[in-house]
Amino acid sequence: MEIKPKKSDKIHPFTRNILAVIQAIPEGCVLSYGRVAALAGNPRGARQVSRILHSMSRKHDLPWHRVVNASGRISLPRGRGYELQKALLESEGVHFSPSHTIDLSVYLWGADTGV
DNA sequence: CCACTGACTACTT
DNA sequence: CAAGTAGCCAGTG
């Protein structure tokens, strides 16, 4: 029978790439929205990443907590997941700075020790 | 199909 | 560092 992609071909490949990228993030590492979007093939799609997380994280098992903004900070407001994300990251070995920021030079996926 | 929204980013003041 | 402005693009109503 003919091979049909079927299955969620309603969404753009970009959207699906985001899911793949996020699921590919190793523990103890993080990625910025812009980075995920770039790896997905759309360096301008940072905003879409957040949207996808909202829509897909419910049905997919996405480690959304490994996604932070370009400043290495959690974008979620307090009481809306901020503390949850922070807890999940710390549980994976990600340390936070005194200013609630993550050292991207150390934890950003693909980044070295910063040296 | 049009309008609005949004877990963003970068630049400027 | 904070606030304002602009660009960006897919999901939802």
**CA→C1' distance for A98 and B2 (Å):** 46
Alpha helices in chain A (DSSP H): 13-24, 33-39, 46-56, 82-91, 104-107
Taking only Cα atoms into account, the Rg of chain A, rounded to an integer number of angstroms, comes to: 15
Measured from the CB, is A70 under 7 Å from any atom of strand C?
A: no
Tens digits of pLDDT across chain A (115 residues): 655 555 545 778 999 899 999 999 999 999 999 999 999 999 999 999 998 888 887 677 889 999 999 999 999 988 888 999 999 999 999 999 999 999 999 999 987 765 6
Torsions phi, psi of A58, nearest 5? -70, -45
Measured from the CB, is A50 under 7 Å from any atom of strand C?
A: no
Q: Cα-Cα-Cα-Cα dihedral of A28, A84, A70, A90, to 10°?
A: -30
Q: Supply the pTM of this predicted model.
A: 0.87
Q: Which nucleotides of C are covered by protein (CB under 7 A)?
A: 7-12
